[in-house]
Amino acid sequence: MNQNESMISFRDIRKQYGNFTALKSINLDIYKGELFGFLGPNGAGKTTLIRILTGIIQPSGGKIMVGPHDLFAQPDKAKAMLGYVPDRPYLYEKLTPLEYFEFMGGLYNVASERILSKGEEMLRMFDLWERRNELIESFSHGMKQKVAMSAAILHDPDIFVVDEPTVGLDPRSVKLAKDFFKRLIASGKTVFLTTHTLSVAQDLCNRIAIIRQGDIVALGDMKELQRRASMPGNSLEDVFLKITEEELAQQPSNL
């Protein structure tokens, strides 16, 4: 991890839906070579921030830098640095995995040779090579997740944004996915990860942010989070529950 080189920089990112504030004012840097965990209860604002980062929705205010590029002023250059794996992959299910890779690679002008070689490498790693000529519609959720993960790497992005990567995966596939993320980091890539599987975050992440009701309430490595919760040596699950319940208790009552 190189803390001198920020790969994603959020500055005062806010999102308002009418009277509801989904994001209050997010200020956060994710560094090169970092596997960064972004955690929070349901409805805390995780998916909202990811949708803003990936250009699906616009913020109400603020600025995001992706590498040297302003996401809102230079969206094409910024998005070319990102590989995105959503929690529910939206795939063209009437295609086979290889056909889907050709389609996705074409969007980024990836050479056919790279698409074929990288696609085969990923399908073999995820035990899907024997299914390469079957339609994606016949795949389970976990298999679709692996196809989406494979497609996200085709254009060799510097940053991977991964939302709930282990949902629907069996234990062997979870290990394969974790090993895949470790290899990405070892090769100098950056991973921005959200998950409800706290053991995965504890195993993988260099630093973790916890968001609660649109606000970041804790940030740091595992030891810093344990100190923040006054729970030295406890698991991330214990620390997460303590911090989020503390924040909930501090909210003003409507009664």
pLDDT tens-digit map of 53-92 = 999 999 999 999 999 999 999 999 999 999 999 888 789 9
> Does residue 181 lie within any of the structural domains?
no
Tell me how many domains the chain contains: 1
Helices (H), 153-197: 171-186
> Does residue 4 lie within any of the structural domains?
no
Range of the domain at 101: 92-156
State the average pLDDT over residues 188-198: 93
State the average pLDDT over residues 90-113: 94
Residue 238 CB neighbour total at 10 angstroms? 14
> Does residue 85 lie within any of the structural domains?
no
Q: What's the Cα-to-Cα distance from 190 to each of 91, 141, 214, 238, rounded to whole Å?
A: 24, 25, 24, 27
Angle at 99 between CA 195 and CA 172, to 5 degrees: 35
> Does residue 69 lie within any of the structural domains?
no
User: What is the predicted pLDDT for the residue at 170?
Assistant: 85
Closest CA to 171 of 190, 199, 129: 199
User: Distance between CA 127 and CA 146 in Å, rounded?
Assistant: 9
> Does residue 141 lie within any of the structural domains?
yes
> Does residue 46 lie within any of the structural domains?
no
Q: Which amino acid is at 184?
A: L
User: What is the predicted pLDDT for the residue at 194?
Assistant: 92
User: Distance between CA 73 and CA 208 in Å, rounded?
Assistant: 28
State the average pLDDT over residues 87-115: 92
Closest CA to 225 of 212, 236, 241: 236
Confidence of residue 250 (pLDDT cuts 50, 70, 90): low
User: What is the predicted pLDDT for the residue at 254?
Assistant: 46
Quick one: 117 exposed, middle or buried, by C-beta within 10 A (0-12, 13-18, 19+)? exposed
> Does residue 124 lie within any of the structural domains?
yes
CB 129 within 8 A of CB 138: no
CA dihedral (37, 41, 47, 52) positive or negative: negative
Residue for token digits 């030295």?
232
User: Distance between CA 92 and CA 233 in Å, rounded?
Assistant: 45
> Does residue 164 lie within any of the structural domains?
no
User: Distance between CA 87 and CA 71 in Å, rounded?
Assistant: 22
Residues 6+ apart with CB under 8 A from 191: 34, 35, 36, 159, 160, 162, 181, 184, 185
User: Distance between CA 207 and CA 8 in Å, rounded?
Assistant: 14
Highest mean pLDDT among 115-124, 164-173, 241-250: 115-124
